[in-house]
């Protein structure tokens, strides 16, 4: 348990452009089996590997409480992991399916469309020595969220799953229960929409 708790102090690094890293160093089958046998340390490994990107996805989608919602996602993962069969890619798709469902539930409960945290909130949450980094990161994340909020829901979902969650087209199709072709078209439309939004912004600069 302490391992999971301590994971909050870690930072996930190393995602490359275009190449998704193997967050389990090829040990996913053994880790999965251990979790399914009730090994909390193995679950800690999974949490440390995926929680940050899940939280990032939920935050980018405008979740009011992305960290809490991330925990809800992993409660769901832990409760149903005994039924899971598949590889890391399949597991990742499943985790984000739960994440997307939790997000939908949160929005339904709140009865509102996605919003994002104001910049000041992000700065206030950071430790004093991290304020500068937090503000810098928040500026870009705030911009991404602001742009994505203007997209139709399908396009936003696809782009954020592709870019933030780093899922493949097939994995996004699985999460959203769409065909890969539909996902490809939605990501193209989404980027075109972003481009059209950015263009006048650039012209004003």
Partner 1 sequence: MTGLGGPSGLDDLRNPSELLDAKTVDALIAGHPVDGRLDDLVAFVHDARALADRPVPRPSPALLEVVARLSSWATARTNTLRSSDRRHRSSVAASVARLSAVSKIAAGALVGATSVAAAGAAGVLPEPVGREVRHLIEITTPIEFSGNAEAPDSPDRPRTHRPPSGGQGVHPTSAPANDPSAAKPQAEPVRPDRPPHPQQPGNGHATAPGQQPGNGHTTAPGQQPGNGHATAPGQQPGNGHTTAPGQQPAVAGPQDDRLADADLTDQGN
Q: Which of residues 163-192 bind partner 1 (CB under 8 A)?
A: 163-166, 170-171, 174-178, 184, 187-188, 191-192
Among 111, 128, 129, 203, binds partner 1 (CB under 8 A): 203
Residues 146-165 touching partner 1, rule: CB under 8 A, are 147, 152-154, 156-157, 159-160, 162-165
Q: Provide the 10 A C-beta neighbour count for residue 105.
A: 12
- CA neighbor of 117 nearest in space, from 32, 157, 58, 169: 58
Smallest distance, partner 1 to C-beta of residue 64, A: 14
Spatial distance between the Cα atoms of 129 and 136, rounded to a whole number of angstroms: 13
C-beta of 31 vs 52, nearer to partner 1: 52
Restricting to residues 83-112, which ones interact with partner 1 according to CB under 8 A?
Answer: 83-87, 89-91, 93-94, 97-98, 100-105, 107-109
Distance, CA of 182 to CA of 109 (rounded, Å): 28
CA atoms within 13 A on the CB side of 100: 22
Footprint of partner 1 on 117-146 (CB under 8 A): 137, 140-141, 143-144
Q: List the one residue from 23, 24, 64, 67 that touches partner 1 (CB under 8 A).
A: 67
Exactly one of 24, 81, 120, 123 binds partner 1 (CB under 8 A); which one?
81
CA dist list (Å): 177 to 32, 173, 202: 24, 5, 35
Q: What's the closest the beta carbon of residue 103 comes to partner 1, in angstroms?
A: 8
- Interface mask toward partner 1 for 10-49; x: CB under 8 A: xxxx-xxxx-----------------xxxxx--xx--xx-
Roughly what angle, to the nearest 10 degrees, separates helices 88-110 and 28-36? Answer: 60
To partner 1, the closest distance from the beta carbon of 152 in angstroms equals 7
Between 25 and 29, name the residue whose CB sits nearer to partner 1: 29
Spatial separation of the C-alpha atoms in residues 68 and 171, rounded to whole Å: 24
The CB-side HSE value for 20 (13 A sphere, CA atoms) comes to 20
Nearer to partner 1 (CB atom), residue 129 or residue 199: 199
User: Using an 8 Å Cβ cutoff, are 150 and 97 in contact?
Assistant: no
């Amino acid at each position: 348990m302490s391992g999971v708790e301590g994971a909050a102090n870690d930072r996930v690094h190393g995602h490359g452009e275009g190449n998704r890293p193997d967050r389990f160093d090829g040990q996913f089958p053994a880790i999965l089996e251990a979790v399914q046998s009730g090994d909390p340390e193995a679950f800690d490994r999974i949490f440390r590997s995926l929680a940050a990107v899940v939280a990032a996805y939920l935050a980018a989608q405008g979740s009011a409480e992305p960290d809490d919602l991330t925990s809800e996602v992993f409660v769901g993962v832990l409760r149903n992991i005994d039924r899971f069969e598949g590889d890391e890619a399949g597991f990742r798709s499943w985790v984000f399916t739960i994440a997307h469902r939790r997000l939908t539930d949160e929005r339904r409960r709140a009865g509102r469309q996605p919003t994002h945290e104001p910049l000041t909130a992000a700065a206030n949450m950071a430790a004093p020595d991290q304020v500068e980094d937090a503000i810098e990161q928040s500026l870009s994340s705030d911009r991404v969220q602001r742009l994505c909020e203007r997209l139709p829901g399908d396009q936003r979902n696809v782009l954020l799953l592709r870019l933030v969650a780093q899922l493949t087209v097939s994995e996004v199709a699985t999460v959203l229960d769409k065909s890969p072709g539909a996902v490809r078209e939605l990501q193209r439309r989404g980027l075109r929409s972003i481009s059209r939004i950015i263009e006048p912004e650039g012209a004003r600069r």
